[in-house]
Amino acid sequence: MKIILFLFWLGILFIIQTNAQQVLSHFLSPAEQEEFKTYNLPLSLSGITVPPGGSLRTAAEWEEIESIVITWAGYADILTEIVRHSIPECEVIIITGNETQVRTYLETKNIDPDDPHITYLIRPYNSVWVRDYGQWCVYRNDVDSLLMVDWIYNRPRPKDDTIPAGIAELKGFSLYQTIASPYHLVNTGGNFMCDGMGTAFDSELVLVENTQSYYAEHDIPGEGHNYTAIANILSDFMGIDRLITMPVLPYDGIHHIDMHMKLLDEETLLVGQYPEGVADGPQIEANLQYILDNYNSAFGTPYKVVRIPMPPDNGYFPNTIGSYRTYANNVFMNKTVLVPTYEEQFDTIGLRILRENLPGYNVVGIDCNDIIPAGGALHCITKDVMVADPLRIIHQPLDAQLEADAYELHAIIQHSSGIAAATIHYTGDVAAGFIAAPLSYSGADDIWSGEIAGIPGAEKIYYYLSATALSGKEMSRPITAPGGYYSFNIEAVSGVNETARIEAFTVQAIYPNPASAITVIPAQFPVATDVEINLLDMSGRLVKRIASEKVMAGNHHFFLHCEYIIPSSYIVEIKSHSGAVRQKLMVK
């Protein structure tokens, strides 16, 4: 009995020690701010300090991953849930200085510490924020050999700065580092996102941290870099050929774009939205408009935009005393997406929007109230390791089509061994199953083409692509197929008022209704159009203009913050040049 009690209290001690360790915020502490004034950023690590050479491509987050990396440095309950939901999808690499403590803690949370999908990497570390100091995965020739890239880390946390070398050694990949003249580059992972096709987004933080004065202060040789020099370094080391840099936000504290936006695929931007004029709302709107006015997606078409609310913190936003709550700080892990959650009345909206726009994905919420005051959430504390042999399928989904005998489509399909076969699977009724038809290789540029045969009477067609490499590897796009798929509407050809038919839009039920906080107005537009949304009183008088903007084809969500509206009955009116739709809304 004494032995059992001893082991019990020993386990409790391990748990206490695990949670009692020093936890560093995403922000610099006052002591670190003083230290950083004279801190020399480390420039003598173990990687290769010249560009890899050749054709390079940085992977996008929604591509197939082999491992997810976390550092066990506080927030044990949140890290445990990441482990729990990652195990079915991929390997979990846990960086820790005490494997026994982590094992004991996982066991108390009903996770088998000996699960074959868990790897313990014993390394020194400073903080949990592995997204910022972790490695980047880059492919040669789109899908050939994988290498890793490591930037200069912008924190006085030298142990964190060694983690990329540890991951590269563990996985057996070459590590290239931007630490030698003329390739010095200070950057952080939370302030960088890419589409897998050569486009990257960041904030002007990268310009601030690569100035001559910043370099001089932190003993980095050279005269610093302007935008062009930074873009050239990212091109040389990572294959980035287009860098979209936006002004920083006033209230996010760390100026990392992953706190308010994310690429869901090659042409879709998920962008946080505040109430009009609140917190970082005005700058987010200005940044988004800058993107839409000046850049198209990698397909040459306008970006699609999905809006998602930035929820308040007990009624407060970051411009007052609220934490920077966000749903954009989510994580792709193959067929699962982990999303930070905070408060049910807002979380149901955020999760619903993501599920609507990521069909087939297992969208899982993880409570992040403990960590969000420290300036980050799930994306900030995870880092992906991509698969060594990707089977890549690039396809721009079809938009609404006029009724026809067949619908042509194309895809880029690549694997290092070559492609043995590619297939289009389609149906007018998912419950009835999918019809398979072969795609044909065009003979150049890895392009495969095929047709979806017309389905009499179908108003919508659902489809996905699959491919088999010569090595035998198989992959589908979306990665969640057949549970997830693309779809497009079929518009009948009547010969009369044809333009009006294809441009008509639909509005789903407003939710929640009755409403007292964030209210969502979901609408689908078959083509790009100007839209105006108004809140009217029951006599038809304008109470508030909710939106007036040009929207791209696709699903959109507009938000009304009802906490600012007097309780009563109202009418929500959605107008475009093709007509108007009205719905009743009760504000309580």
Residues 382 and 397 in one domain: no
Which is nearest to 244 in space by CA: 307, 290, 300?
290
Report DSSP state, residue 191. G
Considering only 18-22, 133-137, 452-456, 503-507, which range has the smallest mean pLDDT? 18-22
Residues 194 and 53 in one domain: yes
**Residue 574, strand partner residues:** 533, 581
Which amino acid is it at 223?
E
Question: CA-CA distance, 85 to 316, in Å (whole number)?
Answer: 31
Residues 529 and 402 in one domain: no
pLDDT score of 17: 40
Helix (H, G, I), strand (E, B) or coil at 205: helix
Question: CA-CA distance, 416 to 469, in Å (whole number)?
Answer: 8
Residues 358 and 452 in one domain: no
Computed over its alpha carbons, how large is the radius of gyration of the chain? 25
Binned at pLDDT 50, 70 and 90, residue 80 comes out as very high
**Residue 544, strand partner residues:** 535
| CB burial of residue 5 (10 Å; 0-12, 13-18, 19+) | exposed
Report DSSP state, residue 313. B
Residues 60 and 167 in one domain: yes
Prior bond to 158 cis, omega within 30? no
Mean pLDDT across 245-252: 96
CATH of the domain at 536: 2.60.40.1930
Mean pLDDT across 226-248: 97
384 vs 2 pLDDT, higher one? 384
Note whether residue 142 is domain-resident.
yes
Considering only 2-16, 124-138, 282-296, 303-317, which range has the smallest mean pLDDT? 2-16
CATH of the domain at 401: 2.60.40.10
Residues 236 and 314 in one domain: yes
Percentage above 90 pLDDT, the chain: 80
Residues 463 and 520 in one domain: no
Neighbours of 10 (CB within 10 A): 11
Last residue of a domain, one of 491, 517, 533: 491
Residue tagged 């078959």 (tokens): 526
Residues 147 and 275 in one domain: yes
Listed in sequence order, the residues at least 6 apart from 523 whose beta carbon sits closer than 8 Å to its beta carbon are 505, 506, 507, 508, 531, 555, 556, 557, 558, 574
Instruction: Evaluate if residue 495 carries a pLDDT over 80.
Output: no
Tens of pLDDT, residues 379-420: 999 999 999 999 999 999 999 888 899 999 999 999 999 999
Note whether residue 236 is domain-resident.
yes
Listed in sequence order, the residues at least 6 apart from 565 whose beta carbon sits closer than 8 Å to its beta carbon are 535, 543, 544, 587
Mean pLDDT across 76-90: 98
Which is nearest to 206 in space by CA: 263, 261, 245, 234?
245
Give me the number of domains the chain comprises. Answer: 3
Residues 52 and 133 in one domain: yes
Mean pLDDT across 508-524: 89
Residues 270 and 402 in one domain: no
Which is nearest to 477 in space by CA: 488, 468, 464, 487?
464
Tens of pLDDT, residues 142-200: 999 999 999 999 999 999 999 999 999 999 999 999 999 999 999 999 999 999 999 99
Last residue of a domain, one of 344, 368, 386: 386
Note whether residue 213 is domain-resident.
yes
Residues 426 and 574 in one domain: no
Considering only 322-336, 337-351, 493-507, 515-529, which range has the smallest mean pLDDT? 493-507
Question: CA-CA distance, 81 to 84, in Å (whole number)?
Answer: 5
Which is nearest to 175 in space by CA: 134, 126, 122, 125?
134
Report DSSP state, residue 417. T
**Residue 184, strand partner residues:** none
Note whether residue 28 is domain-resident.
no
Q: Can you give the residue range of the structural domain that contains 442?
A: 392-491
Residues 166, 123 contacting (CB under 8 angstroms): yes
Residue tagged 């009743």 (tokens): 584
Binned at pLDDT 50, 70 and 90, residue 578 comes out as confident
What's the mean per-residue pLDDT of the chain?
92
Note whether residue 100 is domain-resident.
yes
pLDDT score of 22: 66
Binned at pLDDT 50, 70 and 90, residue 551 comes out as confident
CA angle, corner 140, sides to 179 and 117, nearest 5?
Answer: 85
First-to-last C-alpha distance (Å) of the chain: 59
CATH of the domain at 241: 3.75.10.10
Question: CA-CA distance, 485 to 35, in Å (whole number)?
Answer: 51
Residues 339 and 453 in one domain: no
Note whether residue 377 is domain-resident.
yes
Note whether residue 499 is domain-resident.
no
pLDDT score of 537: 81
- In angstroms, the Cα distances linking 45 to 150, 151, 153, 164, 437 are 10, 11, 12, 10, 52
Helix H, strand E, coil C: the string for 507-567 is ECCCECCCECCEEEEEEEECCCEEEEEEEEECCCCEEEEEEEEEECCEEEEEEEEHHHCCC
Residues 354, 337 contacting (CB under 8 angstroms): yes
Note whether residue 565 is domain-resident.
yes
Q: Where are the alpha helices (DSSP H) in 271-326?
A: 281-294
Report DSSP state, residue 120. E
The DSSP H or E segment spanning 103 is helix 99-108
Mean pLDDT across 351-379: 97
Which is nearest to 72 in space by CA: 29, 33, 31, 123?
123
Last residue of a domain, one of 491, 520, 538: 491
Report DSSP state, residue 262. E
Neighbours of 433 (CB within 10 A): 10
Binned at pLDDT 50, 70 and 90, residue 493 comes out as low
Mean pLDDT across 104-129: 98
